[in-house]
Amino acid sequence: MKKLRKRIGVLTGGGDCPGLNAVLRAIVKTAQNDFGVEVIGFKDGYEGLIENRFLEIDSRNVSGILARGGTILGTSNRADPFKYPVLQNDDYVYLDRSTQAVRNFESLGLDVLIAIGGDGTMAASAAMARKGLPIVGVPKTIDNDLVGTDVTFGFDSAVVTATEAIDKIHTTAQSHHRVMIVEVMGRYAGWLALYSGLAGGGDIILMPEFPYDIEGVCDAVRTRNAQGKTFSIVVVGEGAKPLGGEMVVARKVKTSPDAIRLGGVSHQVASQIEGLTNIECRVTILGHLLRGGSPTAFDRILATRFGVAAVHMADRGEYGRLVVLRHGQMDSAALDEVAGKLRLVTVDHEMIHTALSLGLCLGNPSDVPFADFYAEQEERQSS
- Same-domain status, 229 and 324: no
Asked whether residue 252 carries a pLDDT value surpassing 80, the answer given is no
DSSP H stretches of helix in the chain: 20-30, 46-51, 98-107, 119-130, 155-176, 191-199, 214-226, 265-277, 297-315, 335-338, 350-357, 370-382
Q: Which of 25-29, 122-126, 366-370 has the lowest mean pLDDT?
A: 366-370
pLDDT at 259: 66
Confidence of residue 91 (pLDDT cuts 50, 70, 90): confident
CATH number, domain with residue 179: 3.40.50.460
What digits encode the pLDDT tens for the residues 185-212?
999 999 999 999 999 999 999 999 999 9
Predicted confidence band at 375 (pLDDT cuts at 50, 70, 90)? confident
Q: Are residues 256 and 310 in the same domain?
A: no
Are 331 and 324 in contact by the 8 Å Cβ rule? The answer is yes
Maximum distance among all alpha carbons in the chain? 71
Q: Do residues 67 and 28 both lie within one domain?
A: yes
Q: Does pLDDT of 322 surpass 90?
A: yes
> Residue 360's pLDDT band (boundaries 50, 70, 90)?
very high
Same domain, 220 and 198: yes
Say whether both 136 and 208 belong to one domain. no
Tell me, yes or no, whether 371 and 228 share the same domain.
yes
What was the pLDDT predicted at 102? 97
Say whether pTM exceeds 0.85: yes
User: Average pLDDT for residues 236-262, to the nearest whole number?
Assistant: 83
Among the listed residues 80, 143, 203, 219, the single catalytic one is 143
Domain that holds residue 107: 7-153+295-338
Does residue 351 share a domain with residue 227?
Answer: yes
What are the φ and ψ backbone dihedral angles of 348, each rounded to 5 degrees?
A: -95, 10
Do 249 and 369 share a domain, yes or no? yes
Read off the CATH number of the domain in which 132 is found. 3.40.50.450
143 noted as active-site residue: yes
Residue 348, C-beta contacts closer than 8 angstroms, at least 6 positions apart: 371
Nearest partner of 343 among 146, 123, 159, judged by Cα: 146
- Does 1 map to a domain? no
pLDDT at residue 11 in the model:
98
pLDDT at residue number 260:
74
Domain match, 133 and 216 both: no
Q: Are residues 145 and 243 in the same domain?
A: no
pLDDT in tens, 154-194: 999 999 999 999 999 999 998 888 999 999 999 999 999 99
Nearest alpha carbon to residue 307 among 39, 14, 1: 39
Same domain, 119 and 243: no
- How far apart CA 304 and CA 307 sit, in angstroms, is 5
Q: Say whether 206 sits in a helix, a strand or coil.
A: strand
Is 2 a domain residue? no
pLDDT of residue 247: 87
| pLDDT at site 257 | 65
Q: Confidence band (pLDDT; 50, 70, 90) for 381?
A: low
Residue 291: is its pLDDT beyond 70? Answer: yes
What domain count does the chain have? 2
Q: What is the mean pLDDT of the chain?
A: 93
